[in-house]
Amino acid sequence: MTKKCLLKTDGYQISLDVRDAEASHEYVDVVVALTLDRYLGDLVVKSTSTLIALRDLSRLVKYFERHIVQLLHNPDYQSEIFVPMELGFQVQALSGEVYTENDGEFSLRFLLNVGKSEEMHHRVYVGGESVVTLKDIKIFLSSLHEILAALSHPDGVRFSEHL
């Protein structure tokens, strides 16, 4: 079974299709898709299926939560680039305007690893940069919290058994 997390921006949307990794309690399988808004051409770019560490999903949640707190004090703040260990994507939260913990917006740059070049075997990334509202970030973070909670269920029940 798959759990989908959506992150909507003003121009593109990112979806993470997260599946339980059968052989591991520390990783999940994920396919990441970047979809341009229909006004921009309905382009969809997907990553190959890759493993991502649960600790990286947890780090991603903390990354956005810290960024929001920083923007409350400094609207010019830009977070460092977030890259999971498996290099499946890159995210950078940029400057914006946050009035309260639930009201505001900031720019978000997202790059998706779509594979390796044929000749040199270098990683190739495709991405976008646009504005995201705190409301949409909070929805995305809530989905990630649900996945992390299901995966760390105290009775040992795995993620796929919750879906």
Q: pLDDT at position 100, please?
A: 83
Total domains, the chain: 1
What average pLDDT does range 3-20 have in this prediction? 92
Distance CA 81, CA 92 (A): 5
**Residues 17-76: tens digit of each pLDDT:** 998 876 667 889 999 999 998 777 778 999 888 889 999 999 999 999 999 999 999 999
Are 5 and 140 in contact, with CB atoms under 8 Å apart? Answer: yes
- For the chain, what's the residue count? 163
- Give the CATH number, domain containing residue 126: 2.30.31
**Residues 71-117: tens digit of each pLDDT:** 999 999 999 999 998 888 999 999 999 988 789 999 999 999 887 77
Residue 153 has pLDDT above 60, yes or no: no
Residue 140, Cβ neighbours under 10 Å: how many? 21
Distance CA 22, CA 51 (A): 11
Residue 89: domain span: 2-162
Q: What SS3 class is residue 158?
A: coil
pTM as predicted: 0.86
